[in-house]
Amino acid sequence: MAKMNLKKTHLATLCVHGSGGVDPATGAVSTPIYQSSTFAFKNARQGAEIFAGETEGFVYTRIGNPTQSALEKEIAFLENGEAGLAFGSGMAAISAVVLYYTRCGMNIVSSDTLYGGTHNLFMETLPNYNIEVREVDGTDTANFEKAVDENTSCIYIETPANPTLTLVDIEAASRIARKNSIPLIVDNTFSTPYFQRPLELGADIVVHSATKYIGGHGDTVAGLVVGKQDFINDLRGTILRDIGGIISPLNAWLLVRGLKTLAVRMERHQENAMEIAQYLSFHPKVSQVWYTGLSTHPQHELAKRQMSGHGGVVSFEIKGGRKAGEKLMNNVNLFTLAVSLGDVDSLIEHPASMTHSTYSAEELQKVGISEGLVRLSVGIEHSQDLIADLRQALKRV
């Protein structure tokens, strides 16, 4: 491919062409799936040199694989970071990063609205290893400042947060992290680098559940981390290598393919989600809609400042609580009643009893996840068909 001026090229083009490489070994234009667990050394000396870190080369797929490398290069490029590392799930990526920084006896300061699995890791699993997580209201970043002490290993935020689309000011959080010489980790799953690039706003590390928009087709579970080259090298050589939460070559390939259509999918997700959010805002059976693209979102100004678009998740409060929500979910036809999000197909779920059932009743109330909250992951179907489906299902409520 002819050389592009990467600084002047639009993101939609960069998603398709990536950093401009073809497979270095064969020149294959589509990244090959290197379905091999191990890699032959030319001779014993070269093998020893690779192990000693004196020569570059592939050794064993738990530590690195060319298909995985191609994916890592592309996500680092799109996030405007130095290097990337792929994992077998979003939770594998998140746990690897927090474990890398945190020792027994230390604490983590985090925003309090998180995917239910991350919340469970923080409140149930890490305390078993004498690691305390201080979840605070991240809509006021002064709360991070108050919670940080000399034993804090890192600040962790999810923005927009699952499922209420609550935002954290990334620049303000990064200033607090910098002042305390600790890293700021941002879960960028909901926005993807197409709509938000946390590293450009001062964050140190980005994590993704690549299961969602990066893969985009509901056929892969995967996680990604982007950060400085030295950090990524060390993370690969310690937690990834020792705990082993790797991605398979086939799944890495599915994500490389997913990234090529990221721009068109995100544009369509956003367009459809905006129409649905507006439709629901005026529906008499809906009391509140959460979507960062609506001017009624309490942090709409912050959304405009740190994001260039709004993604496909819309949450809303249905009048009549849990019973009304169940009636709606049991009567949709096009929306599939399933967890996960970011797929081309539209999905619907009930956070309080499903994705966020790891939150106690008090915790749910504190972060604004009520019994009547329904979450939509708006897909790329025709918006009028999706609205017609919601209209007929709401009629039955």
Supply the residues annotated as catalytic.
62, 115, 187, 212
Nearer to ligand LCS, 113 or 272 (CB): 113
| Region at 391 (left for phi over 0; alpha for psi -120 to 50; beta for the rest) | alpha
CA distance 363 to 372: 15
- Which range binds ligand LCS by CB under 6 A, 110-118, 294-302, 316-324, 384-392? 110-118
Smallest separation (angstroms) from ligand LCS to the CB of 284: 28
Nearer to ligand LCS, 33 or 339 (CB): 339
SS3 316: strand
Nearer to ligand LCS, 19 or 353 (CB): 353
Binds ligand LCS by CB under 6 A, chosen from 205, 221, 318, 378: 221
Mark 126-165 with x for binding to ligand LCS (rule: CB under 6 A) and - for no binding. --------------------------------x---x---
- Which range binds ligand LCS by CB under 6 A, 97-105, 111-119, 139-147, 325-333? 111-119
Residue 117 binds to ligand LCS (criterion: CB under 6 A):
yes
Smallest separation (angstroms) from ligand LCS to the CB of 16: 24
Mark 77-96 with x for binding to ligand LCS (rule: CB under 6 A) and - for no binding. ------------xxx-----
Smallest separation (angstroms) from ligand LCS to the CB of 310: 15
Mark 177-216 with x for binding to ligand LCS (rule: CB under 6 A) and - for no binding. ----------x-x-------------------x-x-----
Greatest alpha-carbon span in the chain: 74
Burial class (CB in 10 A: 0-12, 13-18, 19+), 147: middle
Nearer to ligand LCS, 67 or 377 (CB): 377
CA 271 from centroid of its chain's CA atoms:
20
Nearer to ligand LCS, 14 or 356 (CB): 356
Judge if the upstream peptide bond of residue 163 is cis by omega within 30 degrees of 0: yes
Burial class (CB in 10 A: 0-12, 13-18, 19+), 283: middle
Smallest separation (angstroms) from ligand LCS to the CB of 170: 15
Phi, psi of 314, rounded to the nearest 5 degrees: -125, 125
Residue 352 binds to ligand LCS (criterion: CB under 6 A):
no
Nearest to 113 by CA among 148, 142, 140: 140
CB 310 within 8 A of CB 350: no
Residue 118 binds to ligand LCS (criterion: CB under 6 A):
yes
SS3 290: strand
| Region at 253 (left for phi over 0; alpha for psi -120 to 50; beta for the rest) | alpha
Nearest to 346 by CA among 382, 376, 308, 303: 376
Nearer to ligand LCS, 67 or 118 (CB): 118
- Which range binds ligand LCS by CB under 6 A, 114-122, 177-185, 237-245, 280-288? 114-122
Nearer to ligand LCS, 147 or 339 (CB): 339
CA distance 82 to 232: 9
Size of the site for ligand LCS (CB under 6 A): 18
CA distance 205 to 186: 6
Residue 340 binds to ligand LCS (criterion: CB under 6 A):
yes
Edge-first strand listing for the sheet containing 373-377: 286-290, 313-318, 373-377, 347-349, 336-337
Residue list 17-76, contact with ligand LCS (CB under 6 A): none
CB 374 within 8 A of CB 328: yes
Nearer to ligand LCS, 70 or 186 (CB): 186
Residue 102 binds to ligand LCS (criterion: CB under 6 A):
no
Which residues are at the interface with ligand LCS (CB under 6 A)? 89-91, 115, 117-118, 158, 162, 187, 189, 209, 211, 221, 223, 339-341, 355
